[in-house]
Structure 1
Amino acid sequence: MNQVQLRPRPSRSLTASVVALVVLAGAVVLTVASVSRLVDGTWPTWFVDPASSLGQQTWGSTTVLATGAVVLVLGVVLLLAAVVPGRRSGAAIALEVENAEQSEVVLTQRGLARLAAAAADEVDGVEHVDVSASSTAVRVLAVTSSLDDADTVRSAVEEAVRSRLDVLGTGPVRPVQSRVRVKES
Protein backbone atom coordinates (compact mmCIF):
# COMPACT_ATOMS: atom_id res chain seq x y z
CA MET A 1 0.00 0.00 0.00
CA ASN A 2 1.41 3.37 -1.01
CA GLN A 3 1.39 5.78 1.93
CA VAL A 4 1.16 9.49 1.19
CA GLN A 5 2.51 11.77 3.88
CA LEU A 6 -0.01 14.56 4.53
CA ARG A 7 1.29 17.85 5.80
CA PRO A 8 -1.66 19.58 7.44
CA ARG A 9 0.66 22.38 8.57
CA PRO A 10 3.18 24.24 6.42
CA SER A 11 6.83 23.30 6.60
CA ARG A 12 9.43 25.74 7.89
CA SER A 13 11.73 25.39 4.91
CA LEU A 14 12.33 29.13 4.47
CA THR A 15 13.36 29.62 8.10
CA ALA A 16 15.56 26.53 8.01
CA SER A 17 17.19 27.67 4.75
CA VAL A 18 18.03 31.12 6.14
CA VAL A 19 19.58 29.62 9.28
CA ALA A 20 21.50 27.07 7.22
CA LEU A 21 22.88 29.76 4.90
CA VAL A 22 24.03 31.93 7.85
CA VAL A 23 25.72 28.97 9.53
CA LEU A 24 27.31 27.93 6.21
CA ALA A 25 28.65 31.44 5.58
CA GLY A 26 30.14 31.55 9.07
CA ALA A 27 31.73 28.14 8.58
CA VAL A 28 33.23 29.17 5.23
CA VAL A 29 34.73 32.37 6.71
CA LEU A 30 36.24 30.47 9.65
CA THR A 31 37.57 27.71 7.38
CA VAL A 32 39.24 30.14 4.97
CA ALA A 33 40.77 32.10 7.86
CA SER A 34 41.99 28.89 9.54
CA VAL A 35 43.57 27.55 6.35
CA SER A 36 45.26 30.91 5.81
CA ARG A 37 46.60 30.78 9.38
CA LEU A 38 47.95 27.26 8.81
CA VAL A 39 49.60 28.19 5.50
CA ASP A 40 51.07 31.63 6.36
CA GLY A 41 51.35 31.38 10.12
CA THR A 42 49.31 34.58 10.62
CA TRP A 43 45.64 35.43 10.57
CA PRO A 44 44.48 37.32 7.45
CA THR A 45 43.95 41.08 7.92
CA TRP A 46 40.29 40.92 6.78
CA PHE A 47 39.71 38.53 9.68
CA VAL A 48 41.87 40.21 12.33
CA ASP A 49 40.81 43.86 11.86
CA PRO A 50 37.11 43.35 12.69
CA ALA A 51 38.03 40.94 15.48
CA SER A 52 40.47 43.42 17.07
CA SER A 53 37.90 46.21 16.72
CA LEU A 54 35.34 44.01 18.41
CA GLY A 55 37.86 43.06 21.10
CA GLN A 56 38.37 46.71 22.04
CA GLN A 57 34.67 47.19 22.82
CA THR A 58 33.41 47.16 26.41
CA TRP A 59 30.32 45.27 27.52
CA GLY A 60 28.40 48.49 28.12
CA SER A 61 29.21 50.12 24.77
CA THR A 62 26.37 51.04 22.43
CA THR A 63 27.70 48.79 19.64
CA VAL A 64 27.77 45.68 21.82
CA LEU A 65 24.33 46.37 23.31
CA ALA A 66 22.75 47.07 19.90
CA THR A 67 24.34 43.96 18.36
CA GLY A 68 23.19 41.88 21.33
CA ALA A 69 19.64 43.21 21.03
CA VAL A 70 19.50 42.45 17.30
CA VAL A 71 20.84 38.92 17.82
CA LEU A 72 18.36 38.37 20.69
CA VAL A 73 15.37 39.51 18.61
CA LEU A 74 16.50 37.40 15.64
CA GLY A 75 16.89 34.36 17.91
CA VAL A 76 13.41 34.81 19.42
CA VAL A 77 11.84 35.23 15.98
CA LEU A 78 13.55 32.09 14.66
CA LEU A 79 12.58 30.15 17.79
CA LEU A 80 8.94 31.22 17.49
CA ALA A 81 8.94 30.39 13.77
CA ALA A 82 10.11 26.89 14.62
CA VAL A 83 7.73 26.29 17.53
CA VAL A 84 4.44 28.02 16.67
CA PRO A 85 2.37 26.03 14.18
CA GLY A 86 1.33 27.83 11.03
CA ARG A 87 -2.03 27.90 9.36
CA ARG A 88 -3.33 24.72 7.85
CA SER A 89 -2.35 24.14 4.26
CA GLY A 90 -5.27 21.82 3.64
CA ALA A 91 -8.94 21.50 4.46
CA ALA A 92 -9.91 19.31 7.39
CA ILE A 93 -12.76 17.00 6.41
CA ALA A 94 -15.29 15.76 8.97
CA LEU A 95 -15.26 12.04 8.20
CA GLU A 96 -15.20 9.10 10.55
CA VAL A 97 -12.58 6.47 9.80
CA GLU A 98 -13.34 2.95 10.96
CA ASN A 99 -10.76 0.90 12.88
CA ALA A 100 -8.77 3.96 13.92
CA GLU A 101 -8.23 5.29 17.42
CA GLN A 102 -7.74 8.84 16.26
CA SER A 103 -7.90 10.11 12.73
CA GLU A 104 -8.00 13.33 10.80
CA VAL A 105 -8.78 13.49 7.11
CA VAL A 106 -7.16 16.38 5.25
CA LEU A 107 -7.77 17.37 1.65
CA THR A 108 -5.08 19.47 -0.03
CA GLN A 109 -5.92 22.78 -1.68
CA ARG A 110 -5.21 21.18 -5.06
CA GLY A 111 -7.55 18.29 -4.27
CA LEU A 112 -10.25 20.71 -3.17
CA ALA A 113 -9.87 22.66 -6.42
CA ARG A 114 -10.05 19.48 -8.51
CA LEU A 115 -13.19 18.36 -6.69
CA ALA A 116 -14.81 21.76 -7.28
CA ALA A 117 -13.73 21.72 -10.94
CA ALA A 118 -15.32 18.32 -11.46
CA ALA A 119 -18.60 19.55 -9.98
CA ALA A 120 -18.59 22.77 -12.03
CA ASP A 121 -17.72 20.93 -15.24
CA GLU A 122 -20.88 18.83 -14.95
CA VAL A 123 -23.17 21.89 -15.20
CA ASP A 124 -24.98 22.31 -18.51
CA GLY A 125 -23.66 25.17 -20.63
CA VAL A 126 -20.15 25.16 -19.15
CA GLU A 127 -17.43 24.67 -21.75
CA HIS A 128 -14.34 25.19 -19.63
CA VAL A 129 -13.66 25.59 -15.91
CA ASP A 130 -10.72 27.17 -14.10
CA VAL A 131 -10.74 26.64 -10.31
CA SER A 132 -8.34 27.74 -7.61
CA ALA A 133 -8.60 27.02 -3.90
CA SER A 134 -6.93 28.95 -1.11
CA SER A 135 -7.25 28.85 2.63
CA THR A 136 -10.04 31.43 2.44
CA ALA A 137 -12.16 30.58 -0.62
CA VAL A 138 -12.73 28.43 -3.67
CA ARG A 139 -12.76 30.58 -6.81
CA VAL A 140 -14.47 29.22 -9.91
CA LEU A 141 -14.27 30.73 -13.39
CA ALA A 142 -16.63 29.05 -15.82
CA VAL A 143 -16.57 29.73 -19.56
CA THR A 144 -19.79 29.51 -21.54
CA SER A 145 -20.79 30.48 -25.06
CA SER A 146 -24.34 31.53 -24.21
CA LEU A 147 -24.69 35.23 -23.38
CA ASP A 148 -28.35 34.84 -22.35
CA ASP A 149 -27.69 32.13 -19.74
CA ALA A 150 -24.60 33.63 -18.05
CA ASP A 151 -26.37 34.37 -14.74
CA THR A 152 -28.13 31.02 -14.77
CA VAL A 153 -24.87 29.20 -15.44
CA ARG A 154 -23.10 31.15 -12.67
CA SER A 155 -25.73 30.30 -10.07
CA ALA A 156 -25.85 26.65 -11.23
CA VAL A 157 -22.04 26.36 -11.03
CA GLU A 158 -21.97 27.94 -7.58
CA GLU A 159 -24.73 25.64 -6.33
CA ALA A 160 -23.10 22.52 -7.82
CA VAL A 161 -19.73 23.33 -6.24
CA ARG A 162 -21.32 24.18 -2.87
CA SER A 163 -23.32 20.96 -2.79
CA ARG A 164 -20.25 18.89 -3.73
CA LEU A 165 -18.15 20.52 -1.00
CA ASP A 166 -20.95 20.25 1.59
CA VAL A 167 -20.78 16.47 1.27
CA LEU A 168 -17.23 16.54 2.65
CA GLY A 169 -18.16 17.60 6.15
CA THR A 170 -20.65 19.38 8.31
CA GLY A 171 -21.06 22.57 6.33
CA PRO A 172 -19.08 24.25 3.59
CA VAL A 173 -15.35 23.67 3.67
CA ARG A 174 -14.60 27.01 2.00
CA PRO A 175 -16.79 29.84 0.69
CA VAL A 176 -17.40 29.56 -3.05
CA GLN A 177 -16.93 32.55 -5.35
CA SER A 178 -17.91 32.07 -8.97
CA ARG A 179 -17.69 34.10 -12.17
CA VAL A 180 -18.80 33.32 -15.69
CA ARG A 181 -17.01 34.50 -18.80
CA VAL A 182 -18.86 34.40 -22.07
CA LYS A 183 -16.79 32.96 -24.89
CA GLU A 184 -17.10 34.97 -28.08
CA SER A 185 -17.64 32.85 -31.16
Structure 2
Amino acid sequence: MSKTSRSQRLRRRSSRSVPATITALVLLALAVAVAWLGISRLVTGSWPDFMSSIRESLAEFTWNSPAVWAAAVVLALIGLILLLAAILPGKHTAVRLAGPSDADAKSVETVISRRGLSRLASWHLDHADGVESTSVDSTARKVTATVRTPLRTTSELSRTLTESLERKFDEIGVDPAPQVVVRVRSTE
Protein backbone atom coordinates (compact mmCIF):
# COMPACT_ATOMS: atom_id res chain seq x y z
CA MET A 1 0.00 0.00 0.00
CA SER A 2 1.30 3.41 -0.84
CA LYS A 3 0.69 6.34 1.36
CA THR A 4 -1.11 9.24 -0.25
CA SER A 5 1.00 12.35 -0.14
CA ARG A 6 -0.59 15.36 1.38
CA SER A 7 0.53 18.81 0.36
CA GLN A 8 1.10 21.68 2.75
CA ARG A 9 -1.72 24.14 3.18
CA LEU A 10 -1.28 27.26 1.09
CA ARG A 11 -2.81 29.55 3.68
CA ARG A 12 0.12 29.46 6.08
CA ARG A 13 0.84 31.40 9.22
CA SER A 14 3.68 33.89 9.53
CA SER A 15 7.03 32.40 10.52
CA ARG A 16 7.99 34.93 13.20
CA SER A 17 11.64 34.63 12.20
CA VAL A 18 12.52 38.23 13.17
CA PRO A 19 11.37 37.99 16.83
CA ALA A 20 12.94 34.54 17.14
CA THR A 21 16.26 35.83 15.75
CA ILE A 22 16.27 38.86 18.07
CA THR A 23 15.48 36.68 21.10
CA ALA A 24 18.18 34.20 20.12
CA LEU A 25 20.78 36.97 19.69
CA VAL A 26 19.93 38.54 23.07
CA LEU A 27 20.15 35.18 24.83
CA LEU A 28 23.40 34.36 23.00
CA ALA A 29 24.94 37.70 24.04
CA LEU A 30 23.86 37.08 27.64
CA ALA A 31 25.34 33.57 27.59
CA VAL A 32 28.64 34.83 26.12
CA ALA A 33 28.88 37.55 28.78
CA VAL A 34 28.21 35.10 31.63
CA ALA A 35 30.70 32.59 30.17
CA TRP A 36 33.34 35.31 29.83
CA LEU A 37 32.78 36.42 33.43
CA GLY A 38 32.97 32.83 34.69
CA ILE A 39 36.17 32.08 32.75
CA SER A 40 37.69 35.34 33.97
CA ARG A 41 36.86 34.37 37.58
CA LEU A 42 38.39 30.91 37.14
CA VAL A 43 41.58 32.21 35.49
CA THR A 44 42.35 35.22 37.69
CA GLY A 45 40.72 34.06 40.92
CA SER A 46 38.67 37.25 41.21
CA TRP A 47 35.82 38.99 39.47
CA PRO A 48 36.59 41.81 37.00
CA ASP A 49 36.80 45.30 38.55
CA PHE A 50 33.50 46.55 37.12
CA MET A 51 31.73 43.58 38.73
CA SER A 52 32.71 44.58 42.28
CA SER A 53 30.26 47.49 42.41
CA ILE A 54 27.48 45.37 40.92
CA ARG A 55 28.26 42.54 43.34
CA GLU A 56 28.22 44.90 46.34
CA SER A 57 24.87 46.43 45.37
CA LEU A 58 23.33 42.99 44.78
CA ALA A 59 24.63 41.74 48.14
CA GLU A 60 22.35 44.24 49.88
CA PHE A 61 19.21 42.49 48.62
CA THR A 62 17.55 39.62 50.46
CA TRP A 63 15.37 36.96 48.91
CA ASN A 64 12.29 38.61 50.43
CA SER A 65 13.04 42.16 49.25
CA PRO A 66 10.47 43.87 47.00
CA ALA A 67 13.09 44.49 44.29
CA VAL A 68 13.86 40.76 44.01
CA TRP A 69 10.14 39.95 43.83
CA ALA A 70 9.61 42.64 41.16
CA ALA A 71 12.52 41.28 39.11
CA ALA A 72 11.12 37.74 39.45
CA VAL A 73 7.66 38.88 38.30
CA VAL A 74 9.12 40.78 35.33
CA LEU A 75 11.22 37.79 34.28
CA ALA A 76 8.21 35.47 34.66
CA LEU A 77 6.10 37.78 32.47
CA ILE A 78 8.82 37.92 29.82
CA GLY A 79 9.01 34.12 29.89
CA LEU A 80 5.23 33.85 29.58
CA ILE A 81 5.17 36.27 26.63
CA LEU A 82 7.93 34.30 24.88
CA LEU A 83 6.06 31.04 25.54
CA LEU A 84 2.79 32.44 24.17
CA ALA A 85 4.61 33.84 21.13
CA ALA A 86 5.97 30.37 20.44
CA ILE A 87 2.67 28.54 20.95
CA LEU A 88 0.00 30.85 19.49
CA PRO A 89 -0.26 30.89 15.71
CA GLY A 90 0.71 34.01 13.78
CA LYS A 91 -1.36 35.93 11.27
CA HIS A 92 -2.29 34.36 7.99
CA THR A 93 -0.01 35.38 5.14
CA ALA A 94 -2.62 34.75 2.46
CA VAL A 95 -6.31 35.29 1.78
CA ARG A 96 -8.46 32.39 0.60
CA LEU A 97 -10.19 32.56 -2.78
CA ALA A 98 -13.17 30.51 -3.87
CA GLY A 99 -11.80 27.66 -5.94
CA PRO A 100 -13.19 26.25 -9.17
CA SER A 101 -16.82 25.19 -8.86
CA ASP A 102 -16.11 21.61 -10.00
CA ALA A 103 -13.21 21.06 -7.55
CA ASP A 104 -13.33 19.22 -4.26
CA ALA A 105 -13.06 21.79 -1.44
CA LYS A 106 -10.92 19.42 0.66
CA SER A 107 -8.31 18.80 -2.01
CA VAL A 108 -8.13 22.15 -3.82
CA GLU A 109 -7.15 25.40 -2.19
CA THR A 110 -6.70 28.75 -3.92
CA VAL A 111 -5.11 31.70 -2.15
CA ILE A 112 -3.67 35.12 -2.85
CA SER A 113 -1.09 36.80 -0.64
CA ARG A 114 -2.14 39.90 1.26
CA ARG A 115 0.45 41.81 -0.75
CA GLY A 116 -1.06 40.45 -3.96
CA LEU A 117 -4.52 41.50 -2.78
CA SER A 118 -3.18 45.01 -2.10
CA ARG A 119 -1.61 45.18 -5.56
CA LEU A 120 -4.80 43.97 -7.20
CA ALA A 121 -6.86 46.57 -5.34
CA SER A 122 -4.32 49.30 -6.18
CA TRP A 123 -4.34 48.37 -9.87
CA HIS A 124 -8.14 48.31 -9.92
CA LEU A 125 -8.45 51.70 -8.23
CA ASP A 126 -5.69 53.26 -10.38
CA HIS A 127 -7.76 52.51 -13.49
CA ALA A 128 -10.89 54.23 -12.16
CA ASP A 129 -11.94 57.66 -13.43
CA GLY A 130 -10.84 60.58 -11.27
CA VAL A 131 -8.04 58.71 -9.47
CA GLU A 132 -4.56 60.20 -9.49
CA SER A 133 -2.75 57.72 -7.22
CA THR A 134 -3.49 55.00 -4.67
CA SER A 135 -1.96 53.41 -1.61
CA VAL A 136 -3.48 50.15 -0.38
CA ASP A 137 -2.88 48.15 2.79
CA SER A 138 -4.62 44.84 3.43
CA THR A 139 -5.08 42.33 6.20
CA ALA A 140 -7.07 39.12 6.12
CA ARG A 141 -10.22 40.98 7.18
CA LYS A 142 -9.81 44.55 5.95
CA VAL A 143 -8.56 46.38 2.86
CA THR A 144 -7.80 50.07 3.39
CA ALA A 145 -7.14 52.25 0.36
CA THR A 146 -6.06 55.87 0.29
CA VAL A 147 -6.82 57.54 -3.03
CA ARG A 148 -5.62 60.92 -4.26
CA THR A 149 -7.80 62.78 -6.73
CA PRO A 150 -7.85 66.21 -8.36
CA LEU A 151 -11.62 66.43 -7.72
CA ARG A 152 -12.91 68.80 -5.06
CA THR A 153 -15.91 66.76 -3.91
CA THR A 154 -14.79 63.35 -2.79
CA SER A 155 -17.77 61.71 -1.02
CA GLU A 156 -19.36 60.33 -4.20
CA LEU A 157 -16.02 59.05 -5.50
CA SER A 158 -15.34 57.29 -2.19
CA ARG A 159 -18.66 55.44 -2.30
CA THR A 160 -18.22 54.53 -5.97
CA LEU A 161 -14.70 53.19 -5.47
CA THR A 162 -15.72 51.20 -2.38
CA GLU A 163 -18.57 49.52 -4.27
CA SER A 164 -16.35 48.89 -7.28
CA LEU A 165 -13.64 47.26 -5.16
CA GLU A 166 -16.21 45.12 -3.32
CA ARG A 167 -17.55 43.91 -6.70
CA LYS A 168 -14.00 43.12 -7.84
CA PHE A 169 -13.38 41.02 -4.73
CA ASP A 170 -16.68 39.18 -5.33
CA GLU A 171 -15.62 38.49 -8.94
CA ILE A 172 -12.33 36.90 -7.95
CA GLY A 173 -13.99 35.08 -5.04
CA VAL A 174 -12.23 36.43 -1.95
CA ASP A 175 -13.65 34.27 0.84
CA PRO A 176 -14.55 35.71 3.31
CA ALA A 177 -14.93 39.11 1.68
CA PRO A 178 -12.84 41.69 3.55
CA GLN A 179 -14.22 44.99 4.76
CA VAL A 180 -13.30 47.67 2.21
CA VAL A 181 -12.46 51.20 3.34
CA VAL A 182 -11.60 53.80 0.69
CA ARG A 183 -10.39 57.21 1.85
CA VAL A 184 -10.31 59.85 -0.85
CA ARG A 185 -8.09 62.91 -0.51
CA SER A 186 -8.25 65.85 -2.83
CA THR A 187 -4.91 67.14 -4.15
CA GLU A 188 -6.27 70.68 -4.38
Q: TM-score, normalised by structure 2?
A: 0.67
**C-alpha distance after superposition, 1:35-81 (max 9, x if no partner):** 423542434355577679879988x6346655544433332221111
Per-residue displacement from partner, 1:14-48 (whole Å, max 9, x unpaired)? 54244323322322222322442354243435557
Contact 1:123 1:156 in 2 (8 A): no
SS at the partner of 2:137?
strand
Segments of 5+ residues of structure 1 without an aligned counterpart are none
Letter in 2 for 1:107: I
**Residue by residue, what CA displacement relative to the aligned partner does 1:106-157 show, whole Å, maximum 9, x if unpaired?**
3222211111122222323333333222344222233333447x44433332
Q: Which moved more, 1:40-49 or 1:72-81?
A: 40-49
The amino acid of 2:16's aligned partner reads: R
Question: How many pairs does the alignment contain?
Answer: 178
Decide whether the 8 Å contact of 1:125 with 1:146 is kept in 2: yes
Equivalent of 2:112, from 107, 110, 113? 107
Residue of structure 1 aligned with 2:20, choices 7, 16, 21: 16
CA contact (8 A) 2:141 2:177 kept: no
Q: How does 1:59-70 map to 2 (within 5 A)?
A: 61-62=64-65, 67-70=71-74
TM-score normalised over the length of structure 1 = 0.68
The root-mean-square deviation of aligned C-alpha atoms, in Å, is: 3.8
Aligned to 2:132: 127
Q: Distance in 2 between matches of 1:83 and 1:30?
A: 28
Amino acid at match of 1:108: S
The one of 156, 162, 166 equivalent to 2:166 is: 162
Task: For residue 181 of structure 1, report the CA deviation from its aligned partner.
Answer: 3.3
